[in-house]
Amino acid sequence: MTTPTNPSDRLEKTLRVLGWLVVLLLPVWGWTVAQAPIDSIQGVMQKILYVHPPLAYGAYLGFVATAVAGGLFLWRGREIHDQLAIAGAEVGTLFCLLMLLTGPIWARGAWGPGNWWVWDARLTLTLLLFFVYVAYLLLRSFTEGDERAARFAAIYGILGVVLIPLNYWIIDLVGGAVHPDNLANERSGLGEGMGLPFLVGNLTLFFVFAYLLALRWRVGALRAETDRLEGERMSEAERLD
């Protein structure tokens, strides 16, 4: 009879693979960004393009992971899915925060002095998305171990992800612009030599996201296993007394 594999053990193996991919890709990313041409209009500030959009994709992936894992938890009631939902929210919120920090830096350099932030529709909705998942994390931190709260949080996480497609289409719905459109190549948004670092940046931050997600998921699985063993130990001690 084979011994069932502990989820944290499987995640540990995944972490090794993802860790090596991140270690290999980071210097390649740095080299491609350093070698990328400087945009003739935005100047060196344009290179934030290789960081800012990939951070946005990571944030969206984290929130989608929270919604999917929350749905699985409601369906099957497995704690491992709830742990994934929390991991997705934490990593997604981190990426969203970094996106919100790099965006104004890019805007300040590309649009000139006095433009750190404007209450543009997409910017405002992105800030709202950030606070929605900050609230999710606060809810989980104050109700740890409560299954009823976990189910409510799962529903909350599923509803919150609706803001992602709305955030994408908001410009078409109400107008406005959020990203600088004064690149030298306005049609594609990327000039010659900019495609490779943008691609490598997306790949690198995707694997960084996956590594952090797996790491946080493993922490949750180990914590649950520790709590279970502690509960068994206390029950055994009470029985012996």
Rounded-to-integer distance, Cα 140 and Cα 134, Å = 10
Q: Tell me 50's DSSP state.
A: G
The structural domains of the chain, with segments of one domain joined by +, span: 47-179+201-229
Would you say residue 230 has pLDDT above 90? no
Tokens, residue 181: 């459109």
Would you say residue 133 has pLDDT above 50? yes
pTM, 2 dp: 0.85
Q: Which amino acid is at 87?
A: A
Tokens, residue 228: 């279970």
With contact defined as beta carbons under 8 Å apart, do 81 and 72 qualify? yes
Rounded-to-integer distance, Cα 64 and Cα 239, Å = 44
- The model's pLDDT over 160-209, given as tens digits with 9 standing for 90+, comes to 998 888 877 765 565 555 555 545 454 445 777 888 999 999 999 999 99
Q: Centre a 10 Å sphere on the Cβ of residue 127 and count the other Cβ atoms it contains.
A: 14
Burial of 83 per CB tally in 10 Å (0-12, 13-18, 19+)? buried
